[in-house]
Amino acid sequence: MDSPAARTATAPGTAARAEPAEARSGAAPRAGVLVGQRYRLEARLGAGAMGEVWRARHEELNTDVAVKFARPGAACDPELALQRFRFEAQVSAQLGQRTRHIVAVHDAGQHRGVPYLVMEHVPGRSLQALLERDGPVVHGRVAELLEQAAEALDVAHGLGIWHRDIKPANMMVVERPDGAWHVAVADFGVAKALQTELEVDRPRTTVHGALVGSPGYMSPEQIGGEPPDPAQDRWSLGVVAYEALTGRLPFDGRDASDLLIAICARPHAPPSRFVDLPPDVDAWFERALAKRPEERFASARELACAFGDAIEARPRATVLGRRRVWRAVAVAAVAGAGLFVAWVTGWRTTHEDAAPAAAAGSDGARAADRARGQDEAAAFSVPAAVSGTAAAVANAAATSAGSPAAPPVSGAASASPGAPRPATAPTASPKAPERTKDGYDPSDTL
């Protein structure tokens, strides 16, 4: 496995250990505290809307683990929060045995009345942290990200588990010594199990029609309250790819309500408006972010493979430009050959007409020589026309490549109905609207 994992001997989903009653004070976790009689907290790694994550030391195995605590007061129903933590532990533990691209969970319990779960420690950063530190990433890196995240989603979907909260904050990235990325999907806390083969304790069903997930990454049908479906996770993965490439979300709004309306009713801006991309990438996003689920990719693997094909496709403009240039060269070659034949024919005719004059005497020979000289001068004026044709070919090639056209050669026609027009300068793309801060974050989990 690419990232070292701290694996414990306790199977999640058996019996959730609880601290002694006298220790249940509801106090926030702090460094140095012993959790579950074996995990010594060392440093807080991060916090979200629903909880916080600490790095801890397994005192029996001398390995690092990550301990996630539910945030006190974050859930209106503490019992439901405990059920969700247990469910996340069971799902992540079993999925983590099937793919290395899901962060595995190994233990669960309660500490001072606060639910926690113990995960493998991934020595990297979340994709969100990487984007905040380095900005957008190149499309080759995004292909690498999609390939690994797609494996995680297809494994989960194949077992009847829908993640429902795919976003950069829930994707861990380890930068390996060889420069490659190892990606692992985390946080199945709001996942949904439908006809799953996994042995899990399902939490109580949320209120019908309630929004679950992070608004900026929700699909139109997820916003509309449709039943969970793998197509929703694939939509969210497309949003992640868009954000990784451009540094912005494909949909924006003045507030949360306007954002949800934009996702359901407005088109997204082509990513090539903001960054230089191969031409087929825009078409890929048209399918990945299609409003209708049946118009999207049929699996996460298909989505990832199609993106790889899109970034490796040869630019169509270059291919068509080359074809135009070679077509122009072929026309010029034919024209040049015809002019050469005409010159040879004229030269022979001149010599045949001069033969009778030579037989008539010296005066007639001199007259024939003068006539031949005039014809040869006329014949050698042909290269001027050929030069004009060559200039037209050069102009056509420059126009196809987007370069300035060459000036016309003196003596050649300066314009003709079939001559290519010079390329016009591209118009500047409109500036993307800046996000207004009205007290909401589209990446927060609801």
Residues belonging to the active site = 165
Q: How far apart are CA 24 and CA 21, in angstroms?
A: 5
Q: How far apart are CA 392 and CA 259, in angstroms?
A: 52
C-alpha separations of 65 from 108, 338, 394 in Å = 12, 81, 66
Q: What contacts 55, CB < 8 A, 6 or more positions away?
A: 41, 42, 43, 44, 45, 64, 65, 66, 67, 121
Q: How far apart are CA 339 and CA 393, in angstroms?
A: 17
**Amino acid identity of 237?**
L
List helix spans (H) across 266-313. 279-288, 300-312
Strand ranges across the sheet with 125-126: 125-126, 171-175, 181-185
Burial of 67 (0-12, 13-18, 19+ CB in 10 A): buried
Q: Is 281 helix (H, G, I), strand (E, B) or coil?
A: helix
Q: Per-residue b/e over 224-258, b at no fewer than 16 CB within 10 Å?
A: eeeebbbbbbbbbbbbbbbbbbbebbbbbbeebee
Burial of 396 (0-12, 13-18, 19+ CB in 10 A): buried
Determine contact, residues 242/432, Cβ cutoff 8 Å: no
Q: How far apart are CA 286 and CA 283, in angstroms?
A: 5
C-alpha separations of 260 from 393, 438, 442 in Å = 53, 15, 10
Q: How far apart are CA 106 and CA 6, in angstroms?
A: 9
Q: What contacts 435, CB < 8 A, 6 or more positions away?
A: 252
Q: How many helices (H) and strands (E) does the chain have?
A: 11, 12
Measured over the CA atoms of residue 227, residue 233, residue 238 and residue 243, the dihedral's sign is positive
Decide the pairing of beta strands 39-47 and 51-58.
Answer: antiparallel
Q: What contacts 189, CB < 8 A, 6 or more positions away?
A: 50, 84, 85, 88, 165, 445
